[in-house]
A and B are shown apart, each in its own frame.
Chain A
Amino acid sequence: MRLSYPSEIKVIQVPCTGRVDIIHLLNAIENGADGVYVAGCLEGECHFLTGNIKTRKKVDYVKRVLKEIGIEPERVEMYNLSSAMGVRFAEIAREMTEKITALGPTPVKRRSKESKSAKKAPVKERDAA
């Protein structure tokens, strides 16, 4: 299809979004990612039955944590799409990048001396299915 998506996105592949844990998302934010999103399979189509549904709850938990410490919860999101939806994949990448760009750099990265060497953001966790 030769679709393009923003180069700021760093893809981290996992066998199933169920593998993504709260600490992985928090570590991304702590290490200076401006945003992080999880792209899971469509609901009801998880090869492991409920991996994507469980991870949506973990994403919601991280959103609550960020809100509690005064960081925009929108910096963390969960999307559902199938591996056949390449157009949607690129669309989500653009959508998330635009949203994070509008929010601006993460307050964690902006104010941290250590995070100057942080990886490019947003970081993205995606299942390989």
Chain B
Amino acid sequence: MIVADRKSLEEILDMVKEYNNILIVGCKGCVTVCNVGGEKEVEVLASALRIARKKEEHEIAIDTTVIERQCDNEYVAQLKESVGNYDAVLSMACGVGPQFLSEAYREQKFYPAVNTTFFGGAVTHGIWEERCAGCGTCIIHDFDGLCPVARCAKSLLHGPCGGSSKGRCEISKETICIWDSIVSKKIEQGRLNDLLGVRPVKDWRTARDGGPRRSIREELTL
């Protein structure tokens, strides 16, 4: 899923400081699963903003709603009747959401209430970790299902660097050296020789290097 963190209240309050009537839109997709922009979080943010503005004697009216997915025009269209009733709209979806909203409703102002961080999953309750860099050409089968592009600080494809120590990466004690894990797994399975092959240079044009990406599936187009 796409993982995000809520922006600081200070930053969000600054975004909406000129407005007296706003809508907060949550998303039932990834940000609900990572507990940052679902129904609960939308209500908590609304309450926190109201408290802050009451304290400043500059009250703000806030309505809230949560749509199925903000990355789908079909659901974005559900806001058609209401979106014009507000001074501005705060989106609690990943970075995709406020862009779909902005494209659909050109006359309205949209602000992101979260920072979109990475593609990952929950390793335990309340802790999410990055697993995918969205590079566009998946090669994890060569590394026993572990991705050195996303999980090596240098995205090295040919083994660990000198910063690997006792299974950890030099950038932080919490970060495992994914190359240590890849090599350990290969040794356990008796397939270390797999890593000796010369692999072609990775095509980074499918990553961000090739500019904004697009995926077309003819069988689904109208």
**Contact partners of A107 in chain B: CB under 8 A:** 55
**Contact partners of A68 in chain B: CB under 8 A:** 8-10, 48
Give the total number of A-B pairs whose CB atoms are below 8 A apart: 47
Known: A111-B54, A112-B54. A27 touches B9 (CB 8 A): no
**In whole angstroms, what is the CA distance A112 to B54 when docked?**
6
**In whole angstroms, what is the CA distance A112 to B53 when docked?**
10
Instruction: Report the minimal beta-carbon distance from B92 to chain A, rounded to whole angstroms.
Output: 14
Please tell me if the beta carbons of B54 and A115 are within 8 angstroms of each other in the complex. Answer: yes
Count, chain A residues at interface, CB 8 A: 19
Residue B195 lies at the interface, judged by CB distance under 8 Å to chain A: no
Please tell me if the beta carbons of B47 and A108 are within 8 angstroms of each other in the complex. Answer: no
**In whole angstroms, what is the CA distance A71 to B48 when docked?**
11
Residue A21 lies at the interface, judged by CB distance under 8 Å to chain B: yes
Count, chain B residues at interface, CB 8 A: 17
* Closest A residue to B53 using CB positions: A69
**Contact partners of A111 in chain B: CB under 8 A:** 54-57
| A window 96-122: CB within 8 A of B | 107-108, 111-112, 114-115
Known: A65-B9, A115-B54. A26 touches B48 (CB 8 A): yes
Residue B202 lies at the interface, judged by CB distance under 8 Å to chain A: no
**In whole angstroms, what is the CA distance A70 to B10 when docked?**
10
Instruction: Report the minimal beta-carbon distance from A106 to chain B, rounded to whole angstroms.
Output: 9
**Contact partners of B55 in chain A: CB under 8 A:** 69-71, 107-108, 111
Residue B43 lies at the interface, judged by CB distance under 8 Å to chain A: yes
Known: A71-B55, A107-B55, A112-B54. A23 touches B43 (CB 8 A): yes
Per DSSP, are chain B's interface residues mostly helix, strand or loop, or mixed? helix
**In whole angstroms, what is the CA distance A114 to B53 when docked?**
13
Known: A71-B55, A108-B55. A27 touches B40 (CB 8 A): no
**Contact partners of B187 in chain A: CB under 8 A:** none
* Closest A residue to B43 using CB positions: A23
**In whole angstroms, what is the CA distance A66 to B59 when docked?**
17
Please tell me if the beta carbons of A30 and B40 are within 8 angstroms of each other in the complex. Answer: no
Known: A26-B44, A68-B8, A69-B9. A114 touches B51 (CB 8 A): no
Digitize A13-48: 1 where CB-to-B-CB distance is under 8 Å, 0 elsewhere: 000000001110011011000000000000000000
**In whole angstroms, what is the CA distance A108 to B48 when docked?**
11
**In whole angstroms, what is the CA distance A65 to B145 when docked?**
40
Residue B1 lies at the interface, judged by CB distance under 8 Å to chain A: no
Please tell me if the beta carbons of B44 and A22 are within 8 angstroms of each other in the complex. Answer: yes
* Closest B residue to A115 using CB positions: B54
**In whole angstroms, what is the CA distance A108 to B52 when docked?**
8
**In whole angstroms, what is the CA distance A96 to B8 when docked?**
29
Digitize B29-55: 1 where CB-to-A-CB distance is under 8 Å, 0 elsewhere: 000000000001001100110111011
Binding site for A on B (CB under 8 A): 8-10, 13, 40, 43-44, 47-48, 50-52, 54-57, 59
Given contacts A23-B40, A23-B44, 4 further A-B contacts (CB under 8 A): A26-B48, A27-B47, A69-B55, A108-B55
Could you list 12 examples of A-B contacts with CB < 8 Å? A22-B40, A23-B40, A23-B43, A23-B47, A65-B9, A65-B44, A68-B8, A68-B10, A69-B9, A69-B51, A108-B55, A115-B54
